[in-house]
Chain A
Amino acid sequence: MKAGNRIHRFVWLALILVPAAIAWAEYADVIINETSEDAGVSPVIYPHWFHRIRYQCSVCHVDLNFKTKAGGNGITMDKIIEGEYCGACHNGDIAWSPENCDLCHSGVEGLETGIRGGHQTSGPGIY
């Protein structure tokens, strides 16, 4: 009975500590809403994590001239359709084409341009 209680205590402690040790991931999604909502479409959510799995930083930030500043690029749908910025890949050839409005313009109302996840860390890691 005593041993059982001890195991119980350990199990309950584990049940509490395991979730407490897990930090919520920050996605560093880039929100772009410079002109979107003014033009009557939802803000753009650019999933940086999804793209970095496929391409190195310099492909977009050097070769395609994306400045490392959210909202600092003056991206318009006209430029994308002409093959600049997102349109370098999102042209129906390398990636799906720009007529899939919803896939980028998927944000909730009123999001502000910026990176979500940066500087919101819940504290240092273990090393």
Chain B
Amino acid sequence: MNRASISSVLLAIGVVIATPMLLAGQWSSLRKDGLHDPSNPAVRVLQEPAESLSLLAPDTAGNNVDWAAAVRLGQISPRASLDNSRDTEILDTVVVMKNSLTLLPVTFPHEAHTAWMSCAMCHDGIFVAENDANDITMAKILDGEYCGVCHGAVSFPLTECNRCHDVSRQTQAPAVNGDATVQRQ
């Protein structure tokens, strides 16, 4: 082996070691997040985001966690009530919204949403539980109404157009969607 190939191998080993470190670096520490006061004793006590988020199903946007997958895969099981006495009720209907102008129709999976919240979270305060009863537009969503109450703030951002504007899911059973998501891991 000549010197060039030896150094290539060493560099390749370096990349293999460095990659997981770089991946862990996608969650900034509390000290450096621009919000926490580094001189506050709390930053030594509070949990660092990377400590838990790096263990959950990865995503490429928002806080880089696929929360729906994290629940489906059993990585986390958030309680449905304070004292954990209530079971999670899953509704598996899919709402298809076809009036989407030149964009693909929207498919809304109740299953992924009811795994996270009870009906009262959305009905009827945010959405009237009736077909064609909600005048939803992207302008309103971007302004924080309807889907925008959560998406863009604490759920995947509004730049992920084709996660909602997607006809492929409308003919599939929710379980098939689940498999497709798992394959992305």
Taking beta carbons and an 8 Å cutoff, which residues of A are in contact with B?
1, 3-5, 7-8, 11, 14-15, 18-19, 22-29, 31, 42, 45, 47-50, 52-59, 61-64, 68, 88-89, 94, 102-103, 106-109, 111, 115-119, 121, 123-127
Taking beta carbons and an 8 Å cutoff, which residues of B are in contact with A?
2, 4-5, 7-8, 11-12, 15, 18-19, 22-23, 25-28, 33-37, 40-43, 45-47, 49, 52-53, 59-65, 67, 76, 78-82, 88, 116-118, 120-121, 149-150, 152-154, 157-163, 184
A49 to B28, CA, bound (A): 14
A89 to B154, CA, bound (A): 21
Chain B interface, DSSP helix/strand/loop, else mixed: loop
CB pairs A–B below 8 angstroms (25 shown): A4-B7, A11-B12, A18-B19, A28-B154, A42-B40, A49-B49, A49-B65, A52-B67, A53-B52, A53-B78, A55-B82, A56-B117, A57-B121, A58-B120, A59-B78, A61-B117, A61-B121, A103-B46, A106-B37, A109-B37, A115-B154, A116-B35, A118-B152, A121-B62, A121-B159
A117 to B19, CA, bound (A): 25
Q: Are B64 and A1 in contact (CB under 8 A)?
A: no
Closest 8 CB pairs of A and B: A125-B60, A4-B4, A118-B153, A7-B8, A58-B118, A121-B157, A125-B61, A57-B117
Q: Are A27 and B4 in contact (CB under 8 A)?
A: no
